[in-house]
Structure 1
Amino acid sequence: MESKKTFFPLFVDLTGKECLVVGGGNIALRKIKSLIDYGAKVLVVSLHILPEIMELGLEFEKRGFHVSDIDNKFLVVAATDDENLNEMIVDLCETNNVLVNNITSKVYMSARFTAHIDTNEYQIAVSAKGNPRESIKLKKEIIEFLKLKK
């Protein structure tokens, strides 16, 4: 269910914000680490959760997604390999004015993660409109161009 969307670039303080990640695989792990790095309070819900996620010291529940899981959440990440479930989560979040990221679409979501660079002087975010490999490639080129330490 792809549509033509444009995304407004915005930096947001996630400190203490309630976030939900539905899914427990490798992509979920990357998203969780980003959220934790920026101070979010993360709940993970999935039938299968990687041991690396369980070792992060965050709240997790080994079960399927419930509609009520999005209640009082600032941001939800639909990080399952089930495209239909992810789209249902997006629909629920959009109906309830909750920001949502969907790993199985480039546009069917309301929030995108970026490849980002943090230094003492800069915070630079790169988006290749839903193509993470291209974002990471450009991030590396920017680091090289600015001669920054990784």
Structure 2
Amino acid sequence: MQNRFFPLFVDITGKNVLIVGAGKIALRKAKTLLEYGAAITVVTKEVAEPEFLKLKDVHIEKREFLEHDIKDKFLVVAATDNAEFNNYIYNICKLNNTLVNNITSKTDMNCRFVSTVETSEYQIGISAKGNPVKSKALKDKISEFLKK
């Protein structure tokens, strides 16, 4: 059964967010979360994207992920290149009623990042049910429309 996601805009300023992994997609998620004021901790065995080390306000712990890492986290992003491990993180979060975004699955998550169009008057979130290429294409069309 495919997840049905309730669209919701939420203030994450100062909210504790855990990102497991430090690759290209994890970096993109971290940058997005920083734009909205999240307090980010990254747990990773190695930093695959050196740009992570330049991000201010991101706490990096080079070590193995431990189940208790999700304690007191508002959101967890399972962003490793190992789908089985990301699914393991998802299951821990699900059991603990914690929001989790799994980058390697369209179904084993309970929240999803959206493409966002922001103007002085609007904030529009776009989801193509897990297809980022389609989301970006619609984002570009909406952005062009709003410029008119």
Where 2:139 maps in the other structure, the secondary structure is helix
Count the aligned residue pairs. Answer: 146
Residue in 2 aligned with 1:7?
5
Query: What is the identity, as a one-letter code, of the residue corresponding to 1:131?
Result: N
Range with greater deviation from structure 2 (86-95 or 50-59): 50-59
Where 1:10 maps in the other structure, the secondary structure is coil
Q: How does 1:69-88 map to 2 (within 5 A)?
A: 69-88=69-88
Q: How does 1:92-111 map to 2 (within 5 A)?
A: 92-111=92-111
Where 1:19 maps in the other structure, the secondary structure is strand
How does the TM-score come out when normalised to structure 2?
Answer: 0.96
CA distance in 1, matches of 2:110, 2:77: 10
- Aligned-pair identity (%): 54
CA distance in 1, matches of 2:19, 2:141: 30
Where 1:92 maps in the other structure, the secondary structure is helix
Q: How does 1:33-48 map to 2 (within 5 A)?
A: 33-48=31-46
Residue in 2 aligned with 1:133?
133
Shift of 1:91: 0.5
Where 1:9 maps in the other structure, the secondary structure is coil
Where 1:76 maps in the other structure, the secondary structure is strand
Q: What whole-Å deviation, never above 9, does each CA across 1:81-130 have from its counterpart, x for those lacking one?
A: 11111001000001101100000011210000000011111000000000
Residue in 2 aligned with 1:17?
15
Structure 1 residue ranges (4+ consecutive) displaced by more than 4 angstroms after TM superposition: none
CA distance in 1, matches of 2:84, 2:145: 41
CA distance in 2, matches of 1:80, 1:131: 18
Quick check: 1:55 aligned with 2:54? yes
Residue in 2 aligned with 1:30?
28
Residue in 2 aligned with 1:145?
145
Task: Point out where structure 2 has 5 or more consecutive residues left out of the alignment.
Answer: none
CA distance in 2, matches of 1:31, 1:53: 11
| RMSD (Å) for aligned C-alpha atoms | 0.9
CA distance in 1, matches of 2:77, 2:107: 14
